[in-house]
A = this chain, B = another copy of it.
Amino acid sequence: MSLIDLSKQVALGIDIGGTNTKFGVVNHRGEVLEKGSLKTDEYEKVEDFIDALYEHISPLIEKYGTEKNFDGIGVGAPNANYYKGTIEQAPNLPWKGLIPFTDLMKAKFNLPCTITNDANAAALGEMLFGAARGMKDFIMITLGTGVGSGIISNGSLIYGHDGFAGELGHTIVKPGGRKHWSTGSEGSLEAYASATGIAITAKKMRAEFPESMLNQYPEEAINSKTVHECALKEDPIAIEVFRYTGQKLGEALANFVMFSSPEAILLFGGVIKAGDFILKPAKLHMERNLLPIFRNKVKLVFSELDEADAAILGASALVWEKK
């Protein structure tokens, strides 16, 4: 048995978004020791992006070089494939086609590199450092511009045979329902429960109810934040927008529970700022669609991770998880 001084081990966590890329140096306790960011969309070629990333990060590696051991790099990115180390056809990133991302990173940084999609990384972050510590079976749902998910079963992420498992935002909650603006599918969870979906619901409802406070805003200002403001002022239409969203979310969650029987479902992302306006109807409609053996067992909770650091923590968790 070889003893490793855990206090010396650190990982690099990198979260690649369509506009910004955040990175940080994270220790075993989930503390972000250093962090920084660069613009993703300024680099048309992925090689130039990785060069720029290296210029930002190498001073940090040198700074900690003597006192810390860098175990590796974890990356969260849209459309990332864990098995192949690739980013594939990501609609929101500037680099098209199939990008051999971890190979490029290993060559530049000379460190092991693992990649997965951003919601999977978030789930690992919750398991190692957040609200899911000690849990072996839970589902993470990220409610942002889109709806993502990461599923932990028996202590491991479910990747599926091809690395693409866990696209719960694209499961159909209402067959023949609202057409998705990008995929064209009808009635997906994302079409209702994402920030984009909530804005669509709000615009429809305010047109039906001229007395709603929501009509005091210009069209482009209708989003989950302004709906929340109106709900706090007790506008019944704004409250109904979140109730309807919560119902669709809860119906979808019931199906997920009957699939993998998680101990908890963790909700994360900008949309959860609406709090009980969404959580209470979600819980109600989840419970009423469950078989009795599943009822009143599943914790439905909000993420505990600081939103600014969660993506970096989650990505770094990829490094620790492999140990």
List residues of chain A with CB under 8 Å of any chain B CB.
Answer: 79, 88-89, 135-137, 151, 153-154, 156, 158-168, 170-175, 183, 185, 251, 254-256, 258-263, 289, 291-294, 297
Chain B residues with CB below 8 A from A174, complex form: 175
CB < 8 Å neighbour of A154 from B158, B254, B294: B158
Q: Which residue of B lies closest to A254 (CB)?
A: B172
Contact of A154 with B159 in the complex, beta carbons under 8 Å: yes
CB < 8 Å neighbour of A151 from B167, B185, B259, B289: B259
Contact of A167 with B289 in the complex, beta carbons under 8 Å: no
- 7 example contacts (A-B, Cβ-Cβ < 8 A) are as follows A137-B160, A154-B159, A161-B263, A168-B259, A170-B291, A174-B175, A256-B259
Contact of B175 with A173 in the complex, beta carbons under 8 Å: yes
Chain B residues with CB below 8 A from A263, complex form: 161
Chain B residues with CB below 8 A from A156, complex form: 154
Contact of B262 with A185 in the complex, beta carbons under 8 Å: no
Contact of A261 with B162 in the complex, beta carbons under 8 Å: yes
Contact of B259 with A171 in the complex, beta carbons under 8 Å: yes
Distance between Cα atoms of A309 and B79 in the complex (Å): 43
Distance between Cα atoms of A135 and B294 in the complex (Å): 29
**Which of A159, A256, A259, A291 has the largest number of chain B CB atoms within 10 A?**
A259
Contact of A260 with B185 in the complex, beta carbons under 8 Å: no
CB < 8 Å neighbour of A293 from B164, B172, B291, B294: B164
Distance between Cα atoms of A101 and B119 in the complex (Å): 40
**Which of A161, A261, A291 has the largest number of chain B CB atoms within 10 A?**
A161
A182 CB, nearest partner CB in chain B, Å: 10
Contact of B291 with A259 in the complex, beta carbons under 8 Å: no
A166 CB, nearest partner CB in chain B, Å: 7
Q: Which residue of B lies closest to A258 (CB)?
A: B167
Distance between Cα atoms of A84 and B284 in the complex (Å): 29
Contact of A260 with B175 in the complex, beta carbons under 8 Å: no
Distance between Cα atoms of A204 and B194 in the complex (Å): 38
Distance between Cα atoms of A174 and B172 in the complex (Å): 10
- Contacts A171-B255, A289-B185 given; does A158 touch B153 at CB 8 Å: yes
Chain B residues with CB below 8 A from A289, complex form: 172, 185
Contact of A168 with B258 in the complex, beta carbons under 8 Å: yes
Distance between Cα atoms of A165 and B158 in the complex (Å): 14
- Contacts A167-B258, A175-B174, A261-B165 given; does A291 touch B154 at CB 8 Å: no
Distance between Cα atoms of A174 and B187 in the complex (Å): 11
CB < 8 Å neighbour of A136 from B151, B161, B254, B261: B161
Distance between Cα atoms of A167 and B135 in the complex (Å): 21
A229 CB, nearest partner CB in chain B, Å: 30
A120 CB, nearest partner CB in chain B, Å: 12
